[in-house]
């Protein structure tokens, strides 16, 4: 995935084409600037941060659709990025 993936996803969403509800968690590079985050769609999440995809998937229980936006993962991601969760 490249840094354009977030823009691509948002453009598709505006056009009425959200990601498929496939249960996937995509990990893409952080967009330019001081922005990192987690995009949540119906049964599809995107972690847009400069972290190792393997680390992300190690943190998330398989099949848990809430975990990518849950406090445990959000806190771990914030710690990994060196930011406060409220500033993600």
Region of 63 (left: φ > 0; alpha: ψ -120 to 50; beta: rest) is left
Instruction: Estimate the share of the chain in helix, then strand, then coil, as percent rounded to the nearest 5.
Output: 40, 15, 45
User: Is the pTM above the cut of 0.95?
Assistant: no
DSSP 68: G
Exposed/middle/buried for residue 37 (C-beta within 10 Å: 0-12, 13-18, 19+): middle
- In the chain, the percentage of residues whose pLDDT exceeds 90 is 76
Which stretches in the chain have pLDDT values below 70?
A: 1-3, 86-88
User: For residue 86, what pLDDT is reported?
Assistant: 66
**Domain coordinates of the chain in residue numbers?**
5-87
User: Which residues are within 8 A (CB) of 19 and not within 5 positions of it... i.e. 6 or more apart?
Assistant: 9, 12, 41, 44, 46
């Amino acid at each position: 995935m490249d840094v354009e993936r977030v823009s691509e996803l948002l453009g598709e969403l505006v056009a009425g084409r959200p990601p498929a509800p496939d249960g996937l968690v995509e990990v893409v590079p952080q967009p330019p600037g001081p922005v990192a985050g987690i995009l949540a769609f119906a049964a599809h999440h995107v972690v847009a941060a400069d972290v190792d995809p393997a680390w992300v998937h190690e943190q998330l229980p398989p099949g848990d659709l809430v975990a990518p936006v849950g406090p445990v993962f959000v806190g771990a991601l914030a710690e990994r990025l060196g930011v406060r969760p409220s500033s993600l």
